[in-house]
A and B are shown apart, each in its own frame.
Chain A
């Protein structure tokens, strides 16, 4: 077991390098439509990773993650329009800041909740934002806000690529290669034990929550500028979170590459079905069937196919442990 890791990392690194080169050259290889699909796929891969930061590594299931995606989108839309008329690159950090403030205010009390209660509380928060954005005038209400169109598909492709790459790099550094990651995983696997080990779980959870929220807001900002029009449902909508969750679960929960695989696979399969059978709504049924089949036959997600038996055994052990904790959780 100990002799293996060094040797087997090389093919992985080569694969990663090949993928990066491929991604960098993508605009030269495909037409604008496929570049658009690639831009969307990168966004979803990034969003899935952003959700996985809290859901996979810390074990807190956020059903309202679209709230932060939407906050990023709305701040950008708001600041780029009159009377501010700020350039896009200024609005992104502004959106990250606003999102971070929201995340601290919302996260501090909600992170005391566990399991489904946390999930639904965050969902309720996202619904509050939908209703708020719909009822208020300064958000453009239900009619939404348009943004000044910028028709440069390569800019958006590289913006999404950069944001996604940074999100993954950050996740890798923080959660796979640092003490912080160990703390987060420890509290996921057994919160009271982690607390007893001297980990300030409340702080660690909050930091993870804010990180997860802020990364989502960046994608929201790029999305708004890219699509040129947003309304409350199109950026805060529950279906956005649902997609992220399903992408992570299909790809592989709590692994670095699972969300990337799940995000790209689900988005691209959706778009392919939509292209070839999209004359009727039947493709939606096919999409549902595909999700059911993956759950039934790839219970560890698509990433489970790629990981060796070694990590499988670890996951199984972790599964047993988590299962026991869940049983013991009920009063």
Chain B
């Protein structure tokens, strides 16, 4: 892993020096500010934005808040995080609605930012969450097969896509699309425009024409979260020329720190409305300023992890599981079930990465959760008969041989799993006994492979 150091780790050195002195000097604060600056620059926050930001934080820090604190390092982090959150923050990810339908939304941005995919995701969201009927408009006539891409997405979503091929001008396409939406009582028109450089006057002129003609309620600037220092120039330029209403940050499921978010927000003042979190069409999520702040500072994303667990783990099932564990009636069926639930949260090592400091922790930093091994475990269990899953104790050597053959594994592996399962059950019994004593009910127990 080439993970960059987070702010917390960066500040550790300075902290050690301060410790024992009992007093924080202005020079110490200055040194800490240098670390803050480095952390932000490494996260791709634009250097001008960093400069302003550090100045602000520095003022607050030199004041009472940090210098008088017993834990100046923690205080700096707190101040930085608060300021970051505030800078990025506040507004909700709502989508505007025109007084008279249809509401037009234009999607604009550089090549490869993810406009077409985001258009599909947004349409999906509009229908799912707001019960709207969107029309997708294929106005990218330049990139080969861009129209086809939108049509395919339309088919996957079972939604209408308007296209006039790639010979008609995008302005004309937009005009006719809006007419069609009116005729067919579709209430949202999402115009997918071609990617373009913000310095391309001709193509920017085309966007202005579309804007004039369609009076869009929203113009979303789609930006790749991995963008570096130039994010500022791009956002500024699109905003000046078109008057962007919001930003969609894409590819945030990657491992970028995403400092572009802060840059864009602070130069345009326009809210980040959504973030793209995956390749599937439902992977468009609300923007959470606080989480983004943690991420930029390399402090992990515990909230997202909790949310993931909550949306993916069935509460009732978890309770039932707990009861089974207490009564020792936990079977291989339950085990499979739980395995499935955990895995539905995403690849395990990705989950691990969300834990703050996970990349620093001994033993965890290089954990490659072996998905293959999990697959084998699953195969072994699936090769058992229903009776065997319910009562593992009936699995004798003949059955073991059969299971190994059926799952393409070895008898040793089957043995190991059976042994682990037994151990786990014992462990669970102990755990629940302890919990009973402490009168504290736990949620999900740990699986042996975690």
**A-B interaction:** no
